[in-house]
Amino acid sequence: MTDVESAVALDLAGLQALVDLLAAEGYTVLGPTVRAGAVVPGRVTTVDDLPRGWGDTQEPGSYRLRRRDDEALFGYAADAISWKSVLFPSRELMWSGTRTADGFSITAGEGSGGLGDPPYAILGIRACDLHAVAIHDRVLQERALPDVHYAARRKDAFLVTVSCSDPSGTCFCVSMGTGPRAESGFDLALTELLGDEHTFLARAGSERGRTVLDRLGSRPAADGEVVAADEVVERSTRRMGRTMDTTDIRTLLYDNADHPRWDDVASRCLSCGNCTMVCPTCFCTSAEDHTSLAGDTAEHWRVWDSCFTSDFSYLHGGSVRSSTKSRYRQWMTHKLASWIDQFGTSGCVGCGRCLTWCPVGIDITEEVAAIRADPRPTAEQTPIEQTPIEQGGGG
């Protein structure tokens, strides 16, 4: 798959040169960093900011950093916090307003991120997360009325992906067709090689990626390096922590909306919403209005929301989804089935974060497998329920 002619090799100095070049070009350079016992997005000025020698152990309900016995910079699986936190931050000012003699005047909020201002260069974004960005492009940007704040941060982002060399116990990107190596959607793609020499096989995925590579003074990759890079990817492919069979998954989940497994998962799920917060594609938001004490200025904020809260589906009189069963079903069915109808793609990229960060270790792959093993399609129900009619609501 790798285009041998265009593949080049960078050493550690070359990687530092890449960081320097991107910074000089005006990018805010971000990458994986170790903070609070986890690999999370952070500012990167030198390669020493990267998680050198750190790996991770991830299982449902558990995440642990571990010391590697090598000097790998990208030897962990998926970052604990996805790049959603940068491109689509958890709080955003949509507008602020001031009362005037004539009513009020409104000023659009200016988007900015917690890790500095765009344009961003993101170093080390995984193939699964690159797919998640492509999904957000579709969901937030390629719309009749797009999310302009997302679009502004996304517009010039320079994406440097790094193939996964050590997937975790919760990874299943291979099942979702998203990894472990990115095939498109990046400016540069690196594969880390830890042989006698510590090198990075690099390919360009865009014109500006090619320009950057040309300016780095890299050397053409040796045949052996190209083969070694392919082996890294093949090894990762074989070592996925999990699998998910996605055959006809849309029909499977639609037809099994009343499967007893939903009650089973509901008996374990805490409805805490962790899964939606860590998921790189979950995009649901709410609105918050704040006003000054005197009421003459106001702010309208957009904040991440979760379909696991009761407020989420609230209509006067009560929540549409009051049971945990209905909320888990909504979340999983949206990710894996209705997302396909809405946006032409799955909403799951197999990053494994929802498994890892679920306090009770609920595993989306296991929930799908349980329904698939014993399907109980609901016969189409008549839309009649013998409950009294209260004619007051609606609208």
Partner 1 sequence: MPVDVADPATAAADALLPRPFRVVANRRETSDTVTLELEPLDGDGLAFAAGQFTMLQAFGVGEVPISISGDPARPGLLVHTIRDVGGVTRALCAAEVGDVLGARGPYGRGWGVSDARGGDVVVVAGGIGLAPLRAAVLEVVRARSGFGRVHVLYGARTEDDLLFGDDLEEWAAEPDTEVAVIVDRAATSWPGRVGLVTELVRAAAFDAPRTLALVCGPEVMMRFVGAELTARGVPASQVRLSLERNMRCGVGLCGHCQLREYLLCVDGPVLSLDAVRPQLGIREL
Ligand X SMILES: Cc1cc2nc3c(=O)[nH]c(=O)nc-3n(C[C@H](O)[C@H](O)[C@H](O)COP(=O)(O)OP(=O)(O)OC[C@H]3O[C@@H](n4cnc5c(N)ncnc54)[C@H](O)[C@@H]3O)c2cc1C
Residues that bind ligand X (CB under 6 A): 287-289, 311, 314, 316, 395
Say which entry of ligand X, ligand SF4, partner 1, none residue 350 contacts (CB below 5 to 8 A, set by partner kind): ligand SF4
Output phi, psi for 199, to 5 deg: -130, 170
With CB under 8 A as the contact rule, the residue among 184, 211, 251, 286 that binds partner 1 is 286
The total of other beta-carbon atoms located within 10 Å of residue 69's CB is 9
- The Cα 365–Cα 348 span in angstroms is 11
Minimum distance, C-beta of residue 298 to ligand X, in the bound complex (Å): 10
- Residues 326-355, interacting with partner 1 (CB under 8 A): 326, 330, 333-334, 338, 341-342
Q: Residue 99 pairs with which residues in a beta bridge?
A: 104
- The Cα 186–Cα 124 span in angstroms is 11
Minimum distance, C-beta of residue 376 to partner 1, in the bound complex (Å): 14
Strands in 28-35's sheet, in edge-to-edge order, are 38-43, 28-35, 120-125, 158-162, 188-194, 198-204, 8-11, 219-220
Q: Is 164 in the site for ligand SF4 (CB under 6 A)?
A: no
Output phi, psi for 76, to 5 deg: -100, 175
Q: Is 91 in the site for partner 1 (CB under 8 A)?
A: no
Binding piece for ligand SF4, criterion CB under 6 A, among 101-109, 290-298, 359-367, 377-385: 359-367
Q: Is 323 in the site for partner 1 (CB under 8 A)?
A: yes
Interior/surface letters 153-171, b for 16+ CB within 10 angstroms, e for the rest: bbeebbbbbbbbbbbbbbb
Tell me how long the chain is. 395
Minimum distance, C-beta of residue 280 to ligand SF4, in the bound complex (Å): 6
Nearer to partner 1, 184 or 291 (CB): 291
Nearer to partner 1, 131 or 325 (CB): 325
- The Cα 307–Cα 269 span in angstroms is 13
DSSP 3-state of 314: strand
Q: Is 94 in the site for partner 1 (CB under 8 A)?
A: yes
Q: What is the largest CA-CA distance in the chain?
A: 77
- Residues 221-260, interacting with partner 1 (CB under 8 A): 254, 257-258
With CB under 6 A as the contact rule, the residue among 139, 349, 368, 371 that binds ligand SF4 is 349
Q: By CB under 6 A, how many residues form the interface with ligand SF4?
A: 25
Nearer to ligand SF4, 14 or 32 (CB): 32
Nearer to ligand SF4, 96 or 338 (CB): 338
Please report how the helices 12-24 and 207-216 are oriented relative to each other, as an axis angle in degrees rounded to 10. Answer: 120
The closest residue (CB) to ligand X is 395
Q: Is 354 in the site for ligand SF4 (CB under 6 A)?
A: yes
Q: Is 7 exposed, middle or buried (0-12, 13-18, 19+ CB in 10 A)?
A: buried
Say which entry of partner 1, ligand X, ligand SF4, none residue 352 contacts (CB below 5 to 8 A, set by partner kind): ligand SF4
- The Cα 328–Cα 266 span in angstroms is 7
- The Cα 157–Cα 37 span in angstroms is 27
With CB under 8 A as the contact rule, the residue among 53, 61, 97, 185 that binds partner 1 is 97
Nearer to ligand SF4, 224 or 359 (CB): 359
Single-letter residue type at 133: V
Minimum distance, C-beta of residue 18 to ligand SF4, in the bound complex (Å): 28
The total of other beta-carbon atoms located within 10 Å of residue 33's CB is 18
Q: Is 80 in the site for ligand SF4 (CB under 6 A)?
A: no
Say which entry of ligand SF4, partner 1, ligand X, none residue 335 contacts (CB below 5 to 8 A, set by partner kind): ligand SF4
The residues binding ligand SF4 (CB under 6 A) are 269-275, 278-281, 308, 335, 348-354, 358-360, 362, 364
